[in-house]
Chain A
Amino acid sequence: MAQAAAVAKPPAPPRRRRASATPRRLPYLLIAPAALLMLGFIAYPVISVFYYSLQNYNPTKPWRNGYAGFDNFVHAFTKDPVFWDTLVFSAKWVVVEVGLQLLFGLALALIVNQTFVGRGLGRALVFSPWAVSGVLTSAIWVLLYNSQTGITRYLADMGIGSYGTSWLSDTSTVFPAAVVADLWRGVPFFAILILADLQSVSRDLYEAAEVDGASRIKQFWHITLPHLKDAIILSTLLRAVWEFNNVDLLYTLTGGGPAGETTTLPLYIANTSVDAHNFGYASALTTVAFVILLFCSMVYLRLSKFGGEK
């Protein structure tokens, strides 16, 4: 009955009955809280970001506020070299991070999927950084990279790097230093998602392959990897969006420096809005970020033919 109503009839007019919800209305009642919250605190802010992107809006300079048309966008694309730099860095950051996380995460998941002595403890330990926040990750790596007392000092003793330099304040080392810090936390996340999916591979397949004499590498290539495909595609996409959007780590680790070397677009947006109060321009940048994200996701899903065949 519920389904018939949903497919054939327009929604029933609201009845004045006070009895407990009929099945027809029940699903709407159930999603109402979620829908209202999301309308109020996601949809409405998104729309207002689009609106502000066409405005000059700066609470510290109210005399200049007003309709700006596409000025903000024009400024970003033609007059703001920082914008282009942040775009390039964002792309570099996402590709390197997600690529390495996928590689190491897959390897880690394959390893801890085996049975071995101490597996439970091993899993718990290697997955533990996943629970750690961006800010805490920064705190830890700030301690490790500290030029006076960090591990860099002990590494310098062994001939890796040199004394007294902080890897986070040198333009030539800050990128790998930040990447490693984020990998520390990101690899376990990937590994957990992949491990969860690994456990649902039918063991019969491997047994059959074994009977047919397939090597372990062949088994991986022809059984494991195809099985993991959807999980990999989805977690890569989620992770890429997340790495792009996440501000916590870089904001606290490098603050986008040195010399803007590690400023992603969202970090630039945060700085523009929170520190410079230039809300109109920040909104325009946000809009650009949305479009880029949506476009890249579409292309990615299309290229990977995710859910294509049905």
Chain B
Amino acid sequence: MSVKEATKTAPAPVRATPEPPRPAKRNRAWDEAPRWQIYLPLGIYLLFTLVPFYWILLFSLRPAGSTSLVPWPMTFDHFEKVWTDRSFGTYFTNSVLVGVATLIMTTLVALAGGYALARFDFKVKRAFMLALLCSQFVPGALLLVPLFEIFAELQMINSLGSVILAETVFQLPLSMILISNFIKNVPYTLEEAAWVDGCNRMTAFRIVVLPLLRPGLIAVGSFAFVHSWNHFLFALMFLNNQDKQTIPVGLNSLMSADSVDLGALAAGGIIAAVPVVIVFAFIQKWLITGFSAGAVKG
């Protein structure tokens, strides 16, 4: 039963108290604030959150030169212009490629590593965990120059591969820690039971653990996607050709143009936001459960 011991010696979560099943009905008497204490501050905060969104929507939809506070008459000229003239169509494709590739690579590599960290005790584990932790202090922005040289050496400058690799590497540490925490929450006995039933390790993992990991994997994967979708400096640095650029770089060039075209900037911003908003709308629920299950508690 050495494997069991292995799990036992894994570092215990900070708080070991098991979560009691939540009572189905909430008792308003003891845990609830008066209504106005919820709605008033929430309303104010909502205003702060939504006004900027409204503003960018407004600029993207109203004709240039209009000062109206409602986007009427509505025009999609800005979108057309940005999509074709400013090649946001190309940027969009590139960003999708980078995002999806980063998502797949990060999830696979972190899943393998996370499984090892959660289920085994091996010689370099401590050192490896320490390296993961330390890497959190390594700012990607500060490593631009050496990374540039590495990619130049690998002949990967101007190829999306460089950005995908760099994004993956910088997503890995946190993703791996999260996934290993998720796996620790899956009882090891379930896997053992599957072995007894004749599964090998791989099959047992696939049919027993993987389905239970879904919220965690969704959280980690969407994180990787969103981060690489949003991240700016790697693409700015490693991709010189315009037809290889990604959305954030395109946005930046709209902003730093001599005469800033506000309508185009707003439309570009909306295009940049749409995929992320869609992703988050879908995963909102899983994200919070995912976080509380595997939270960054170390």
Interface residues of A (CB under 8 A from B): 1-4, 6-7, 11, 23, 26-28, 30-31, 33-35, 37-38, 40-46, 48-49, 52, 104, 107-108, 111-112, 114-116, 120, 122-129, 131-136, 138-144, 146, 149-151, 154, 184, 188, 192-193, 195-197, 199-200, 202-204, 206-207, 210, 216, 227, 230-231, 234-235, 238, 241, 244-248, 251-252, 255, 266, 269-270, 273-274, 279, 282-283, 286, 289-290, 293-294, 297, 307
Contacts and interface: CB of A to CB of B under 8 A. Distances in A.
Interface of B: 2-3, 5-6, 9, 14-15, 17, 19-20, 22-23, 26-27, 29-33, 35, 38-39, 41-42, 45-46, 48-53, 55-56, 59, 67, 69, 109-110, 112-113, 115-117, 119-125, 128, 131, 135-147, 149-150, 165-166, 168-170, 172-173, 176, 201, 226, 229-233, 237, 248, 251-252, 254-256, 260, 262, 265-266, 268-269, 272-273, 276-277, 279-281, 284, 287-288, 291-292, 295-298
Given A115-B26, A195-B288, A283 B145 contact: yes
A131 B273 CA distance: 8
B16 to A, nearest CB: 12
A151 B297 contact: no
Contacts of B131: 38, 43
> Closest 5 interchain pairs by CB?
A133-B230, A245-B139, A45-B146, A30-B116, A196-B291
Given A45-B143, A123-B284, A143-B262, A238 B136 contact: yes
Given A116-B38, A136-B269, A248 B231 contact: yes
A193 B14 CA distance: 16
Nearest to B31: A206
A30 B48 CA distance: 46
B273 A235 contact: no
Contact of A139 (B119, B265, B287, B292): B265
A31 B56 CA distance: 44
Contact of A2 (B41, B120, B172, B298): B120
B155 to A, nearest CB: 15
- Name the residue among B53, B142, B150 with the largest chain A CB count within 10 angstroms: B142
B232 A30 contact: no
A43 B132 CA distance: 11
Contacts of A128: 49, 53, 277, 280
A136 B141 contact: no
Contacts of A199: 288, 292
Given A46-B143, A269-B141, A140 B52 contact: yes
A43 B137 CA distance: 12
Contacts of A122: 42, 46
A207 B22 CA distance: 12
Given A2-B3, A41-B169, A270-B144, A31 B121 contact: no
B153 to A, nearest CB: 11
Contact of B143 (A49, A104, A115): A49
A35 B280 CA distance: 30
Given A2-B6, A43-B131, A125-B49, 5 more contacts: A48-B149, A126-B45, A133-B272, A248-B230, A248-B232
